[in-house]
Amino acid sequence: MRRLAPVAALTGLLLAPPASAAPGPGSEAQRLHDKGVHCMDVLERNKCAIENFEALLEVETYERELVTDGMMRLIDLYRDEGREDDIGGLLRQFWDVGMKRKSAGHMPYSARFFPTELNVLITLDVEQLAGSRVVTSLDPDAQDAMLTCDEQRRKELDIKRELRRAEKKAADDGREVWDVVQTERERKAEYAAKRAKRTASADTGPIFFEALCPVALSIGLDDLRGFTKMTGALNHHDARKSIGVGIVPDLQPKLAAAQTEGRLLRVADNHWILPDFDYAGGPVHLLMLDLDELTIAPGSMVQGMIDARAKRKARMNRELSKLVDLVPKDSGFFMVMTQAALREMGFGDVKRSTRTVLESLLPRPKGLQIAAIFGDDLGLFTRVPTDTPVKGRMLVSVANALVARAGDDDETQEWLTGLDIAESSDRKALLATYLISSKKLEKIMLE
């Protein structure tokens, strides 16, 4: 799970720049978008581009791809014009502009057969992530840190990362680099030994993290770029109750070859087991419940998926489904969790008396939504719906005050740059947005 955690945390949307041509006929949103692109890319007139992109955000349209691209371009234009203070207000519109009442096409078809007990869901559009400008501009090591399943390449990246960290720590502490390396290796060995003893416990990570690369390798993929989209869901109490679905073009011949070569063992039609790999004390099962969709699940959750697919009966958690519906459809990555999951994960280790006090003071969350889009920057958007707006407003004020006081050194200030905490325009949610530059993203992946 450790090696694949960056994949879950850093996924996003491909925003390919439109053609640099003079605007032609189309909808009002398309016309304004094309004029803005023409002014920005061809005429190189910032004022003209800003006027058209700002007008685009005022148009009532459901063409989210145009709206999002215009929003990300406006960020660059505002920076060029020295209008950094306007960026926060712009990003707060992410959850509202161009949104239908209900979005569609977020997840693989097979996800509708997830059991109700799964109340946290993550979706990543790998194809869009891998082609986005902020990722393609990264150092090759940083790209591979997110996407490769090649064990030799991962070992090489781990050694490079270990040395970078050791060099920094050695310089800070006045120690020898190899002394730091040895200390860290001993610490990691001790942690690995402890973790090995609990592999069948509730501390085990979700199956779509733990088994993803072994599954990819079994069907002939040494890189996650072989998937176009991945979705995983889990129960917040016990991550062993988890299921993943990956969309893989031309999946059937890959499965047939894997079975012929013994990399997969057939159980029944469209049902296999991954040999020589255990998850939480049992085998990993693979199902094909829809064309080019590979479902990864522990044995205890397989039959329910098969029965639901046979009856074409959706059984996904309704509250989770509603939260998904309100995530912008052009998000290349998103995570949602239900109200119960958010509250219990947030206060799980807090004493009951303390929890009672905190819950009386803090706004009552109705779930959590996190989405990401990629332009020249990675934009992370968090939304916490709440029915206690007064408490929410107080929390926003406190959070902003804490952020203002935290930036007392250059490094902290650098990481806080791009963070905006606010209340939604309808006062029904708390919002946090964070822009991560390619330089910051590269530092995260390499160090």
Q: What is the mean pLDDT of the chain?
A: 82
Residue 10 has pLDDT above 50, yes or no: no
Average pLDDT of the segment spanning 242-265: 96
Predicted pLDDT at 398: 58
Predicted pLDDT at 320: 93
When mean pLDDT is compared over 26-30, 86-90, 101-105, 117-121, the highest value belongs to: 117-121
Q: How confident is the model at residue 411 (pLDDT cuts 50, 70, 90)?
A: low
Predicted pLDDT at 395: 61
What 3-state DSSP class applies to 151? helix
Q: Determine the structural domain holding residue 63 and report its residue range.
A: 28-91
Assess whether 177 and 288 both reside in one domain. Answer: yes
Assess whether 64 and 121 both reside in one domain. Answer: no
Q: Which of 66, 91, 116 is the last residue of a domain?
A: 91
Predicted pLDDT at 7: 41
Tell how many helices (H) and how many strands (E) occur in the chain.
20, 12
Assess whether 355 and 305 both reside in one domain. Answer: no
Average pLDDT of the segment spanning 390-419: 64
Predicted pLDDT at 379: 86
Least confident stretch, 102-106, 171-175, 320-324: 102-106
Average pLDDT of the segment spanning 19-31: 63
For residue 293, which phi and psi values (nearest 5 degrees)? -120, 120
Average pLDDT of the segment spanning 167-182: 81
Assess whether 363 and 427 both reside in one domain. Answer: yes
Q: Starting at the edge strand that comes first in sequence, how are the strands of the sheet with 265-268 ordered?
A: 265-268, 271-279, 282-290, 293-298, 242-247, 229-234, 120-124, 333-337, 368-374, 378-385, 429-436, 419-423
Assess whether 267 and 393 both reside in one domain. Answer: no
Assess whether 428 and 297 both reside in one domain. Answer: no
Nearest-angstrom CA–CA distance, 230 and 237: 22
Average pLDDT of the segment spanning 392-401: 63
Assess whether 69 and 119 both reside in one domain. Answer: no
The share of the chain scoring above pLDDT 90, in percent, equals 39
Q: Which of 52, 71, 91 is the last residue of a domain?
A: 91
Residue 396 has pLDDT above 90, yes or no: no
Average pLDDT of the segment spanning 176-197: 75
Residue 287 has pLDDT above 80, yes or no: yes
pTM for this prediction = 0.80
Predicted pLDDT at 215: 97
Average pLDDT of the segment spanning 403-414: 62
Residue 379 is encoded by which pair of tokens? 């934009």
Residue 402 has pLDDT above 70, yes or no: no
Q: How confident is the model at residue 309 (pLDDT cuts 50, 70, 90)?
A: very high
Answer with the residue of higher pLDDT: 393 or 68: 68
The answer to whether residues 16 and 221 touch, using CB atoms and an 8 Å cutoff, is no
Residue 138 has pLDDT above 90, yes or no: no
Give domain status of residue 233, yes or no: yes
Predicted pLDDT at 221: 94
Assess whether 274 and 386 both reside in one domain. Answer: no
Predicted pLDDT at 146: 87
Predicted pLDDT at 20: 33
Residue 293 has pLDDT above 60, yes or no: yes
Predicted pLDDT at 22: 42
Residue 63 has pLDDT above 70, yes or no: yes
Give domain status of residue 23, yes or no: no
Give domain status of residue 408, yes or no: yes
CB atoms within 10 A of CB 123: 24
Nearest-angstrom CA–CA distance, 71 and 57: 8
Q: Which of 261, 282, 316 is the last residue of a domain?
A: 316
Give domain status of residue 330, yes or no: no
Among 218, 226, 193, CA closest to 277:
218
Assess whether 360 and 231 both reside in one domain. Answer: no
Assess whether 34 and 59 both reside in one domain. Answer: yes
Least confident stretch, 6-15, 203-212, 266-275: 6-15
Residue 23 has pLDDT above 60, yes or no: no
Residue 29 has pLDDT above 60, yes or no: yes
Average pLDDT of the segment spanning 8-28: 44
Average pLDDT of the segment spanning 123-137: 87
Residue type at 284 in one-letter notation = V
Q: How confident is the model at residue 357 (pLDDT cuts 50, 70, 90)?
A: very low
Give domain status of residue 16, yes or no: no
Residue 59 has pLDDT above 60, yes or no: yes
Give domain status of residue 324, yes or no: no
Task: Please tell me the total count of domains within the chain.
Answer: 3
In whole angstroms, what separates CA 242 from the centre of its chain?
17
Give domain status of residue 325, yes or no: no
Residue 65 has pLDDT above 60, yes or no: yes
Among 247, 229, 232, 224, CA closest to 332:
229
Give domain status of residue 180, yes or no: yes
Least confident stretch, 177-181, 257-261, 365-369: 177-181
pLDDT tens per residue across span 312-321: 999 999 999 9
Average pLDDT of the segment spanning 194-214: 75
